[in-house]
Amino acid sequence: MGRRTGVGNLRVPISRSVDSAALNAQIQQVLGEMGTSRVVTELGDILISNVDPLATEQDIRASITAKLEVEAGIVLVSLWEMQDGTQRARVRLPLSHARKLDNQKLRLCGCISFARALPKLPQEKQRCFRCLVIGHLARDCKSPVDRQNLCIRCGVAGHLARGCTAEVQCIGP
């Protein structure tokens, strides 16, 4: 049995034994041009430490896929350099894959790197990407204020915080 979300989408939970890709294809075929269907899965994060300085995002994706022996479904890879010259990577992927990679070693550019699953951030510390208030998620937001198109750093529309050079401003409620 499905239910409607706050924005009018139909969410249908399925059991783990169902081939979600095949079911998604069948639903999309029925919908045709009238709508879209997608599979949504719970995501988790892993932190990979001791990454070779020459390793790239593509190397990390390939190493994870090789370790899991299936397509990993990686959503995001963030790399940053450490003071000792190595890199760290934060990888967002389906929770089941993140759990399989917890406390595993990965070979990246000839070096051995270590992966560990990161704990899920408690809801009271998560930020709503609609109103930008900490303590709830956008799907539960009841605020009349919509700030989702504003830069979280300066409060101006039209750009993202990662490219923002303006002075930091408080844009809270």
pLDDT by residue (tens digit) across 80-131?
Answer: 999 998 899 999 999 889 999 999 999 988 889 999 999 887 878 888 878 8
Q: What is the pLDDT of residue 46?
A: 96
Same domain, 55 and 94: yes
Are 87 and 126 found together in one domain?
no
Q: Which residue has the higher pLDDT, 9 or 50?
A: 50
The per-residue pLDDT for range 156-172, each reduced to its tens digit, is 888 878 788 888 877 65
Give the CA angle between residues 133, 135, 139 to the nearest 5°.
Answer: 80
Q: What Å distances lie between residue 78 and 32, 125, 169, CA to CA?
A: 36, 21, 25
Per-residue pLDDT tens for 55-69? 999 999 999 999 999
β-bridge pairing 104-108 and 76-81: unpaired
Q: Which domain holds residue 29?
A: 1-40
Same domain membership, residue 88 and residue 53: yes
Whether 26 and 63 map to the same domain: the answer is no
Same domain, 72 and 35: no
On average, the pLDDT of the chain sits at 86
Looking at the 3D structure of the chain, how many domains does it have?
3
Q: What gap in Å lies between CA 41 and CA 95, rounded to an integer?
A: 8
For the CA atoms of 95, 97, 99, 101, the dihedral, rounded to the nearest 10 degrees, stands at -140
Provide the CATH number for the domain around residue 113: 3.30.70.330
CATH of the domain at 159: 4.10.60
Q: Are residues 110 and 135 in the same domain?
A: no
Query: pLDDT band for position 24 (50/70/90)?
Result: confident
114 shares a domain with 49: yes
Q: Identify whether residues 74 and 112 lie together within a single domain.
A: yes
Q: For residues 46 and 68, give the distance between their C-alpha atoms in angstroms, rounded to a whole number.
A: 14
Do 47 and 113 reside in the same domain of the chain?
A: yes
52 plus 92 within the same structural domain: yes
46: tokens are 């892993």
Contacts of residue 37, defined as CB under 8 A and 6 or more positions apart, other chains included, come to 24, 27, 28, 31
